[in-house]
Amino acid sequence: MTQVDYFQRKLDDKRRLTIPTELRDKFVSGAVITRGFGQYLHLYPKDVWDQLVEPRLEGDILDERTADLNVQFRMGKIEQALDGKQGRITLEQHLLDYAGIDKEVSAVSVGKYWRIMAVDMP
C-alpha cells in the first residue's frame, strides 16, 4: 500500500472532508478533531487519541501546562466515525473558523496524527 503523507481536498457544501482511500483503515476506530497548537486543526485516529493523547491530558491536576493543554484540545473537540463508503468526516464550522479554513484544506502527516490547515497557509 502507498504511504500518504500529504493530501489536499475541497470540502463539500456540508463541510465534509473526504479521507483518501489509502488512509481509511487508520480511522476504522473513528476520528477525533481538535484545535491545533496554532491556527490549524489536529485530526487523530480515535485509537491514537485514546492510547496516546488522553493519558497525557490526565497529568497532574495542579500542573498549569496540563490544564492549558486540556483547554486547547478539548475546547471544540469532536469525535465521529467515517461515513461508510464515502470515507468522509464533517468539520464543524467553529473549528473551520478557528483554523481560517474556507473550502480547501491541506493535510500533512505529523507522525501519528494529521495537521489540517487552509491551503494558503505555509
**49-108 pLDDT, tens digit each:** 999 988 888 888 888 888 888 888 888 899 999 998 899 999 999 999 999 999 999 999
Instruction: Name the pTM for this structure.
Output: 0.88
**Per-residue pLDDT at 31 exceeds 70:** yes
Q: Name the residue with cell 473537540.
A: 77
Q: Are strands 16-18 and 104-110 parallel, antiparallel or unpaired?
A: unpaired
Q: Where are the domains of the chain?
A: 6-118
CATH number for the region 6-118 comes to 3.40.1550.20
Q: How far is CA 30 from the centre of its chain?
A: 11
Q: What percent of the chain has pLDDT over 90?
A: 72
